[in-house]
C-alpha cells in the first residue's frame, strides 16, 4: 500500500508545528492513507524540537520522526537530510508555516494518480493559484525569479520557486542527487533537472498565504545565489 512521507523543514516554527502536524494527520487519516512526518529542524533556538518530541509522544514514533541537525544549514540540504529517513514510496515537501496548507494534500494525491505522474508541483501562477500577504517587493522578486528562469531555461513549469510538491520517492532521490544548489534556488534547479531527466510533472494551483508567526528567511544572498543558479544551469544543462 502507498505511504506518504511528509518532509517538514523547520527553523523557529514552535508555534506552527503542532497545528500543521494536526492538519496533516487529519487529512491522511480521513483518506485512510499511510503517512509519516519527518521534521528536519536546524537547532532552532525557539524550542521547536521540544514541540516535535511532544508530537512524537502524541502521534507515535511510526508517524513522526525528528531528524535534527546541529545548525542552520539551509532548506535544500534539509530535504536531502530528511529524504534518507523517508519510509514511504511518495514524498511530500512543504513549509511548516501554513504558507502551504495541508488541505491541498488530497488534491496533490488525486492529481498524481490521474496520470501516474512522477512529480506534482503546487503552483501559485496558474489556474486559481495565488499569493496573499506579500508586499510588492517580495511579489516582484518571486515573479522576476520565475520569469528569468522560464525565459532562460524553459522547463515548462509555471511555478519554479515554490516548494509544495509531491514526488515519487525514487524520482526525488535521483533529482536530488543531480542538484547542486543549496539555497532557495534549489527548488528551481530541481524542476529544470527533472525535465532534463524526462520525468513527468503535473501542477495543482495553490494559494500561498504568508506566515502568521515568525519571519521569512529569504535574504539578499539568496537572490544572488538564485541568479548564479540560473546562470550555471544555462551553461550546463
Ligand X SMILES: Nc1nc2c(ncn2[C@@H]2O[C@H](COP(=O)(O)OP(=O)(O)O[C@H]3O[C@H](CO)[C@@H](O)[C@H](O)[C@@H]3O)[C@@H](O)[C@H]2O)c(=O)[nH]1
- The residue ranges that bind ligand X (CB under 6 A) are 9-11, 13, 40-42, 72-75, 78, 95-97, 99, 142, 161-163, 184, 187, 211, 216-218
The span from the CA of 105 to the CA of 115, in Å, is 16
Nearer to ligand X by C-beta: 59 or 134? Answer: 134
Site for Mg ion contains 15 (CB under 5 A): no
Nearer to ligand X by C-beta: 49 or 112? Answer: 49
Nearer to Mg ion by C-beta: 66 or 75? Answer: 75
Kindly list the distances between the CA atom of residue 237 and the CA atoms of 30, 80, 144, 233, in Å, as whole numbers in the listed order.
42, 21, 21, 5
Nearer to ligand X by C-beta: 35 or 79? Answer: 79
Min dist CB 11 to ligand X, Å, is: 4
Min dist CB 217 to Mg ion, Å, is: 8
Residue 217: contacted member of ligand X, Mg ion, none (CB under 5 to 8 Å, by partner type): ligand X
Site for Mg ion contains 97 (CB under 5 A): yes
Min dist CB 97 to Mg ion, Å, is: 4
Min dist CB 116 to ligand X, Å, is: 26
Nearer to ligand X by C-beta: 19 or 31? Answer: 19
Site for Mg ion contains 211 (CB under 5 A): yes
Residue 218: contacted member of Mg ion, ligand X, none (CB under 5 to 8 Å, by partner type): ligand X
Amino acid at each position: 500500500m502507498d505511504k506518504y512521507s511528509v518532509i517538514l523543514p523547520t527553523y523557529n516554527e514552535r508555534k506552527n508545528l503542532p497545528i500543521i502536524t494536526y492538519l496533516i494527520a487529519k487529512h491522511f487519516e480521513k483518506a485512510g492513507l499511510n503517512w509519516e512526518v519527518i521534521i528536519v529542524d536546524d537547532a532552532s533556538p525557539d524550542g521547536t524540537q521540544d514541540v516535535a518530541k511532544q508530537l512524537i509522544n502524541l502521534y507515535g514514533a511510526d508517524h513522526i520522526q525528528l531528524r535534527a541537525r546541529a545548525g542552520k544549514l539551509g532548506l535544500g540540504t534539509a530535504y536531502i537530510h530528511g529524504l534518507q529517513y523517508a519510509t514511504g514510496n511518495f514524498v511530500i515537501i512543504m513549509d511548516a508555516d501554513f504558507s502551504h496548507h495541508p488541505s491541498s494534500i488530497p488534491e496533490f494525491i488525486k492529481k498524481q494518480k490521474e496520470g501516474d505522474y512522477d512529480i506534482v508541483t503546487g503552483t501559485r501562477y496558474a489556474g486559481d493559484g495565488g499569493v496573499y500577504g506579500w508586499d510588492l517587493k517580495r511579489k516582484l522578486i518571486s515573479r522576476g525569479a520565475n520569469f528569468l528562469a522560464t525565459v532562460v531555461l524553459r522547463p515548462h513549469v509555471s511555478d519554479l520557486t515554490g516548494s509544495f510538491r509531491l514526488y515519487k520517492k525514487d524520482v526525488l532521490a535521483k533529482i536530488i542527487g543531480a542538484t547542486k544548489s543549496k539555497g532557495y534556488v534549489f527548488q528551481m534547479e530541481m524542476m529544470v533537472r527533472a525535465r532534463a531527466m524526462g520525468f513527468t510533472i503535473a501542477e495543482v494551483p495553490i494559494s500561498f498565504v504568508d506566515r502568521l508567526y515568525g519571519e521569512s528567511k529569504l535574504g539578499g544572498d539568496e537572490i544572488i545565489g538564485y541568479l548564479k543558479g540560473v546562470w550555471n544551469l544555462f551553461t550546463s544543462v
